[in-house]
Structure 1
Amino acid sequence: MSYLKNILNKNATPQSQPIPGTKQVLNSAGGYSFPVDCWTQLERFLILGSEGGSYYASEQKLTIDNAQAVQACVQADGLRAVKTIARVSDSGRAPKNDPAIFALAIAAAEGDDKTRAAALAALPTVCRTGTHLFHFAQFVDGMRGWGRGLRNAVGAWYAQKDADALAYQAVKYQQRDGWSHRDLLRLSHPKPENEQKKALYHWITQGSAGENIPALVAAFEQAKRAETAAELVGLIRDTNLPREAIPTPFLTEKSVWEALLASGMPLTALLRNLATLTRVGIFEDSEQVKAVSERLTNPDSLKKARVHPIAVLAALKTYGSGKGVRGSSTWKPVGKLVDALDAAFYASFGNVEATKRRWVLALDVSGSMSFGDIAGIPGLTPRDASAAMALITAATEDNYRMVAFQDKLTELRITPRQRLDDVVRGISNLPFGSTDCAQPMLWAKENQVKADAFVVYTDSETWHGKVHPVQALRDYRQAMGIPAKLIVVGMVSNRFSIADPSDGGCLDVVGFDTATPQLLSDFVR
């Protein structure tokens, strides 16, 4: 009898068992992975959210796990937690702001005195729009009472805006989640510092507009009574009336949309309304196509507007398909606009410096990666999104190999010269299988592929293989004589990773964090 066969081998352990001497934990798939600390999970949650859950965890379970991670961070170092929440939100690193608002509400409800004060002070940084503020009110109302500190913080949100800026918030973001500006003003009682602000508060709470009311509010009231598209066009031209102020029957009028576009429609609104603009005939004019394409591909404008790559990818996926995700609406996509969206995706990550190193970009295409939606975007699974994420590095580096793996591995002939939506569709059509995240390192060793870095895009729910990924990485390093690094790009906001936290050559980062591509580059360099 070989005694060694009857115990676990720390050099070749099945993924269904923990590596001896490590702190690996059982993951949701039944295999063993390394647990990430609460700070890593906090960033995953802030950027990826938990909408839709994952293949192995329901939305409820994933949200509870992430809420517990936020609570752990708040208890461990509340001020650091608040700074992290505010930094991720303010820098536009996340596709959606809801997780940051939720986390801030937890800090404002469960932190110590200093943490609660810091959370409330960060309210204007995290909650930049009326909708954000309504979300916060909904979250915090279920966690704590409306004490003086909370009422003062909400009042300060209104007080710090001048009358015109606040009028825009009141007209564009009128109510959400059962909350309105009327509700919050009545709770917070901010004191108006001038007659115009006083008239605006009165209009919000009482519904009647006085003589000192801001011009945008007066135009909004006129728009309610408009009988022709021409009247609305004049109001839009004179006051920059937003789309939300336009009565629904007029939102099929080409002239109204031309006026909205000419008034400087925000980039995020432009992305959401490309299909409508196409349907009403705006892009029959080649000059309009050119102007919109230039706006979409301007890196400075994208950054200033906090346009996240996920928003661009969602627009590309939907607009390029020519049909809505919900409903039966259809349109004929304009090729130049599809190309502009493709370029905008790369531009939205900013400039990434090339390393001149050798890369293996490995996409987990197992069954678990095909479930759930990234940041709640319908139809954008972690499997699809990983391909888009990998193309950022591929577009920067000259020396890379791209592979897709499940329990087997396939080398991909994908280049950034292909259009992004075509690549995503191609990844979607690959066969499913069990998850073995050791495959990229095993393949590279067997085929003598020289790599300075393995980048694995995964949910870390690995369980199928005969050896753990970190064991395969160690074997590769020894066999090839290359101190290769492993970067795990987390595509789901769970608490697992295949990266060994005790290995200085391993790094955990978050998928679709706008900071990730440069972070990869810096780490490998």
Structure 2
Amino acid sequence: MESSGSAVSNHALESTGGGCQWDVGDKAKLCRFLCYGTEGDLYTAREEGSVSLENAGALLSLLQEGRGSEVVEEIKRFSQDGRAVRLSTAIFALALCSQHSELKTRQAAFKAVREVCRDPAHLFAFIQYKKELKEGMKCGIWGRALRKAVSDWYNEQDAMSLAAAVTKCKQRGGWSHQDLLRLAHTKPARDAIALISKYVTKGWKEVQDAYADKENSEEVVKVLSYLEVVEKVKHSCDETEVIMLIEEHKLEREQLLTDHLKSKQVWRALLKEMPLHLVLKILGKMTSNKVLEPGSSETEIVCDRIQSESALKKAKIHPFSILLASENYKRGQGYQGKTKWEPDSGVLKAMDSAFYKSFATVKEDGRHDADRVLFCLQNVEPVGKRFVVAVDVSTSLSSVVPGTAISTAVAAAAITMIFARTEAEVDVLAFSEGAVVPCSLSAHMTLAEATAELVKIPSGSTDCTLPITWALDNGKSVDVFIILTNNPLWTFTVSPVESLKKHREISGANSKLVMCGLTSIGHSITDTEDRGLLSVSGFDLGALSVIRNLSQDLI
């Protein structure tokens, strides 16, 4: 593997505008904004927040410099490659570009609508952002360019996929498909799209009258049949018929009536094709309403799906997502409302199995000795950097990560496991009492074993620069330091910025530091313009994506 300590990436140099590689230039700020919604060095887990021009200063500066086309390309990269933690930010940025004064920027933005706005909810959000920006930008919305972009969005879709999309997501944020097709003056590019357009704007009865006696193409016949099923289920009070239609045509819950969802049998039918990430999300609800009962065939089916390696791979389920879902289910109570349930032991065992199965075993260079076994996430490529993951055990690890049901000890153990199992060069450390203490965490441990290893270490004073000092003392070149701490406020005897700079100078590595305050509510490391430092407040799946982006010089 090529050493990552040699030279900063081309992308990183470009991002700093040609200055010092650690300066936070406008391109770096834009990438942070596209990734997690702010230009600063603090990512706050589980915080959606509203997107506004106040957070887009660098984006506006780049547009002023005539670099709009570059901005649009970056928006596309972040939205398509899974780099964006919050896609709403990329959609907002695209809307802003589409209303810029420079023609080339507007053209690039409108051309990218189909690629960035992949489903109706995204398209509705794009239109709403344009509406909100209208006064500030002193220009109208529904010009020829937007009408063409919206029309192309509908016309370039596969007809059956579009039929499913318009019946599952009919409206959002005050916009509907009927609004968009009408305002865009859309001229359908082919017969099947014309059928869907008529269905959306005129209704099913008009479609029946218009297509009853026509000789229709095969594509039109398929769409007609599908829409007929959707209409049929909407007007059916027959539970048996609803179940049959769900199973035969793979209907989803968004296409059903609220009354249908009061039936256990309907839920059982939906379960067979329900996306796995949604199954994990509503396990508690299904247990509460007795769809999942101990020893039932439905519970067995769900357990088999949850721990199926092929299903996990197809659904791209991350181990941390499984852990969060498992801990939430184990809690036996929802965060909102009065829903309660008794966790099923079989489901919990399946979730535990799924956590480990979301890692796939790989042998490095074909070796088979136990010490050389590596793991890789089913759906995440290794970053290929040299990591130090250090856990601060100076305070109790028995508190809970905000917004989750997961303890900080379990969260810290899971995070270390993910890096230990997926990266070839990882040192796992624990530090307390003013020194790095022995920690025998390994990639081969179970989550319970790793957690036990952390909590048995005695607590003491905190100094989050110790892992960097350890690396210097041991001659370690480290690309990324990840420090997991339970302290909501961080104090340092030596500045972490200065410690990191010293490590860079001595090791020659382009070292970065991520400070994760597992119970923090918005505290940053320090007020710094060093692009290699990042703070994480709380922890969620998005935090892992942010760390990955920083490691690869993408933010």
Tell me, yes or no, if the aligned pair for 1:364 and 1:406 is still in contact at 8 Å: no
Q: Does 1:201 align with 2:197?
A: yes
Of residues 482-491 and 93-102 in structure 1, the stretch that sits farther from structure 2 once superposed is: 482-491
Summarize the Cα distance change of 1:200–1:522 in structure 2 as closer, same or farther, 3 Å threshold.
Answer: closer
Tell me, yes or no, if the aligned pair for 1:497 and 1:508 is still in contact at 8 Å: no
> Secondary structure in 2 aligned to 1:110?
coil
Q: How much identity, in percent, do the aligned residues show?
A: 30
Q: CA deviation at 1:298?
A: 4.6
Of residues 160-169 and 391-400 in structure 1, the stretch that sits farther from structure 2 once superposed is: 391-400
1: CA distance, partners of 2:248 / 2:130: 39
1:82 paired residue number:
72
Aligned length: 468
1:66 paired residue number:
55
Summarize the Cα distance change of 1:123–1:373 in structure 2 as closer, same or farther, 3 Å threshold.
Answer: farther
1: CA distance, partners of 2:501 / 2:228: 69
2: CA distance, partners of 1:169 / 1:421: 45
1:392 paired residue number:
418
- Within a 5 Å distance, the mapping from 1:177-196 to structure 2 comes to 177-196=173-192
Q: CA deviation at 1:487?
A: 2.3
Q: CA deviation at 1:256?
A: 1.7
Tell me, yes or no, if the aligned pair for 1:452 and 1:483 is still in contact at 8 Å: yes
1: CA distance, partners of 2:259 / 2:543: 38
- Within a 5 Å distance, the mapping from 1:289-368 to structure 2 comes to 289=302, 291-295=304-308, 298=311, 300-303=313-316, 311-312=321-322, 314-331=324-341, 332-333=343-344, 334-343=347-356, 346=359, 347=377, 349-352=379-382, 359-362=387-390
Q: CA deviation at 1:342?
A: 1.9
2:301 paired residue number:
288
Summarize the Cα distance change of 1:258–1:462 in structure 2 as closer, same or farther, 3 Å threshold.
Answer: closer
Q: CA deviation at 1:236?
A: 0.9
2: CA distance, partners of 1:313 / 1:205: 44
> Secondary structure in 1 aligned to 2:98?
helix
1:451 paired residue number:
476
Which of 44, 52, 56 pairs up with 2:32? 44
Provide Cα deviations, 1:437-489, integer angstroms capped at 9, x if missing partner.
534223555xx4453316334799997434322432455678xx755652234
Amino acid at match of 2:280: L
Q: Does 1:273 align with 2:282?
A: yes
Summarize the Cα distance change of 1:521–1:148 in structure 2 as closer, same or farther, 3 Å threshold.
Answer: closer
Summarize the Cα distance change of 1:201–1:38 in structure 2 as closer, same or farther, 3 Å threshold.
Answer: same
Q: Does 1:163 align with 2:159?
A: yes
2: CA distance, partners of 1:522 / 1:68: 21
Q: CA deviation at 1:168?
A: 0.6
2: CA distance, partners of 1:432 / 1:180: 58
Which of 244, 259, 265 pairs up with 1:249? 259
Summarize the Cα distance change of 1:167–1:437 in structure 2 as closer, same or farther, 3 Å threshold.
Answer: same
1: CA distance, partners of 2:494 / 2:405: 33
Provide Cα deviations, 1:284-305, integer angstroms capped at 9, x if missing partner.
33651453135566564134xx
- Within a 5 Å distance, the mapping from 1:138-149 to structure 2 comes to 138-144=128-134, 145-146=140-141, 147-149=143-145
Summarize the Cα distance change of 1:475–1:90 in structure 2 as closer, same or farther, 3 Å threshold.
Answer: closer
Which of 212, 236, 247 pairs up with 1:237? 247
2: CA distance, partners of 1:433 / 1:494: 20
Provide Cα deviations, 1:390-423, integer angstroms capped at 9, x if missing partner.
4322223475123368999777665553438995
Tell me, yes or no, if the aligned pair for 2:319 and 2:355 is still in contact at 8 Å: no
Summarize the Cα distance change of 1:59–1:302 in structure 2 as closer, same or farther, 3 Å threshold.
Answer: closer
2: CA distance, partners of 1:236 / 1:84: 40
Q: Does 1:472 align with 2:482?
A: no
Summarize the Cα distance change of 1:172–1:508 in structure 2 as closer, same or farther, 3 Å threshold.
Answer: same
> Secondary structure in 2 aligned to 1:214?
helix
Q: CA deviation at 1:86?
A: 1.1
Amino acid at match of 2:225: A
TM-score between both structures, scaled by the size of structure 2: 0.68
2: CA distance, partners of 1:366 / 1:215: 64
Tell me, yes or no, if the aligned pair for 2:430 and 2:436 is still in contact at 8 Å: yes
Summarize the Cα distance change of 1:483–1:472 in structure 2 as closer, same or farther, 3 Å threshold.
Answer: same
Query: Which residues of structure 2 form unaligned runs of 5+?
Result: 1-15, 17-21, 135-139, 212-222, 360-376, 517-521, 537-541
Summarize the Cα distance change of 1:493–1:466 in structure 2 as closer, same or farther, 3 Å threshold.
Answer: closer
TM-score between both structures, scaled by the size of structure 1: 0.72
Tell me, yes or no, if the aligned pair for 1:163 and 1:214 is still in contact at 8 Å: no
1:442 paired residue number:
469
Tell me, yes or no, if the aligned pair for 1:223 and 1:232 is still in contact at 8 Å: yes
Q: CA deviation at 1:122?
A: 1.1
Provide Cα deviations, 1:219-246, integer angstroms capped at 9, x if missing partner.
2222222213211111112222111012
1:3 paired residue number:
none
Tell me, yes or no, if the aligned pair for 2:413 and 2:447 is still in contact at 8 Å: no
1: CA distance, partners of 2:93 / 2:549: 26
2:229 paired residue number:
219
Amino acid at match of 1:190: T
Amino acid at match of 2:421: A
Query: Which residues of structure 1 form unaligned runs of 5+?
Result: 1-22, 24-33
2:3 paired residue number:
none
Name which structure has the greater RCO, CA cutoff 8 Å, separation 6+: 1
Tell me, yes or no, if the aligned pair for 1:309 and 1:514 is still in contact at 8 Å: no
Tell me, yes or no, if the aligned pair for 2:429 and 2:436 is still in contact at 8 Å: no
- Within a 5 Å distance, the mapping from 1:498-517 to structure 2 comes to 500=530, 512=543, 514=545
Amino acid at match of 1:237: E
